[in-house]
Amino acid sequence: MIKPPFLPIVYVRGYAGTQSAVEDAVADPYMGFNIGATKFRQRWTGDIGRHIFESPLVRLMKDYDYKDVFVDGQESFDSRRLPARSVWIYRYYEPVSKDLAQGERPEIEDYARGLADFLQRLRAAMAGSTKRAQRGFKVYLVAHSMGGLVVRAYLQNIAPAMAAAGGDPVAADKVFTYATPHGGIDFRLIGNVPGFLQFHNVDNFNAKRMREYLAIRGRNKPVRALDGHFDAARFFCLIGTNSRDYRVLYGLSSAAVGPLSDGLVQIRNAYVENSPRAFVHRSHAGHYGIVNSEEGYQNLVRFFFGDVRVDGYLDIDTITLPDRVRREKESGKQVRASYHVEVVVRTQGANWDMHRRLVSEESAIFCDYATYVRGKKLVHLFSSFLSKKEIATRGKRTMGFALELGVLVPEYEVDGWLRADRHFAGGYIFRDKLNLQLAMDKQGVRMRYGWDSELPNEAAEQASLFKDEACWICELPVETHADPGIRARLRLKASQWK
């Protein structure tokens, strides 16, 4: 029986907007999962160096011994030749190709039915003939852009219908989506993609149409809801934040969608409800695209094969005001302010970011005072997955990672007037880097920590942990003693991940 963590991986590509894009897609054996990138960065010496990312496919082959399934120019469904660690490409655009078929575009429900058939055939070839093996067979699903909507249409519409009719749909163990418009696509001037735009199935990104093929019942349920058909904790969403490097249509797409996006999908639309997610400074596609990125790959393999999930929250007790603004508030004037929280998560020994939200990149967490300070709502900072296999330092058993945390000083509004005097843009109420070493074994969880402001790049202090159900929780003070200042607690939750 094929067992986690190394299950077959099925990749579902994104939207091809033109017929020439369809032909290019079907001409590629791996539908883009084999495309890499070369990124230039400055070394500590001042020299410019290259970072070559070979592609998710090549890296899975090199790092985890995955194989493709092509034999003599065809996909092989010969059970004698199929390793458990195999990568499959769902080539759903082939019926749309004029070179290979009729060139007619079916509806997204048809793509989802095709995925169901593909997975059934895959199970028949790989799982063996016993009912137990058939029932236990699962796959990992990886999808880019509209491919994630095809996957959701399968999970939320087609698979439940098959089960209701007495069938046995293939189960997904985990799902990973890159830059999928789970909430549809919005443009700055017209809002959501109009439903009447049916040219090349553009209406697939209209919220009303999405409710149909995702089988979401009830107006109160958002289109980003999995609607109980899949465990949101096992559905990871990678969100791009670089709108400037998306050059489709000579940059017109990026201009139409606007900032706070990857150039095509806005941040607020790029995840499903209650899912773990990470933000990376990558565009929707292209040389700086989200799929062909080190950041994307590292999140993917840790989510699929990792050992520990860590979630970070900021619990704000109070944020104090500058003396002048405080006196105006005490005199009866109305003071309003919002705050930006920045966070960057890196693993030890790596030159890339697992998660990155910054004001300068239009992706910081926006926190209004009424909700997050007075209302005591926790600020969700990150969800990251760690892997014992990826420990950078030989001989160590601890998984090291670091958290950069910043809270920015806002502009204050007093009685409806913006008070910009004595305000310098970019000032921080709090800014520091927390270094962490985490170990998890049969004896439980141990964690060491250290702030850069006290001892740079060290984690020497033993953290006090308490257990809450299946999680181990650590709380660390986040305080400054100047005005404006902050008193808060950083809450880290660690749990085993399989």
d(CA 57, CA 45): 32
Q: Over the stretch 375-415, which tens digit does the pLDDT of each residue have?
A: 999 999 999 999 998 887 666 789 999 999 999 987 788 88
d(CA 494, CA 78): 42
Percent share of the chain, pLDDT over 90: 67
* 108's tokens: 């997204």
* 255's tokens: 């201009």
User: What pLDDT is recorded for position 47?
Assistant: 74
CATH label, 9-305, candidates 3.30.420.10, 3.40.50.1820, 3.10.20.30, 3.30.590.20: 3.40.50.1820
Pairing, β 70-71 against β 308-319: unpaired
SS3 at position 293: coil
pTM of the predicted structure, to 2 decimals: 0.94
Q: Over the stretch 411-429, which tens digit does the pLDDT of each residue have?
A: 788 887 776 555 566 789 9
SS3 at position 362: coil
d(CA 446, CA 455): 20
Cβ distance 177 to 154 under 8 Å?
A: no
| ∠ CA 15-243-370, rounded to 5° | 110
Give the mean pLDDT per block of 10 residues along the chain (498 residues).
87 92 93 89 69 95 96 87 92 91 89 97 88 88 98 98 96 98 80 58 89 91 96 98 78 70 94 97 90 96 97 96 86 89 95 94 93 95 94 79 93 76 74 95 88 95 92 96 92 95
Going by the DSSP 8-state scheme, the letter that residue 119 receives in this structure is H
Find tokens 């502009």 and name the residue: 411
Q: Over the stretch 438-460, which tens digit does the pLDDT of each residue have?
A: 998 877 789 999 999 999 999 99
| ∠ CA 198-145-125, rounded to 5° | 105
What phi-psi label fits residue 161: left (phi over 0), alpha (psi between -120 and 50 degrees) or beta? alpha
Residue 58, burial from CB neighbour count under 10 angstroms (0-12, 13-18, 19+): middle
Query: Which stretches within 159-280 are classed as H helix?
Result: 159-164, 207-213, 252-257
Domain spans in the chain, listed from the N-terminal domain onward: 9-305, 309-496
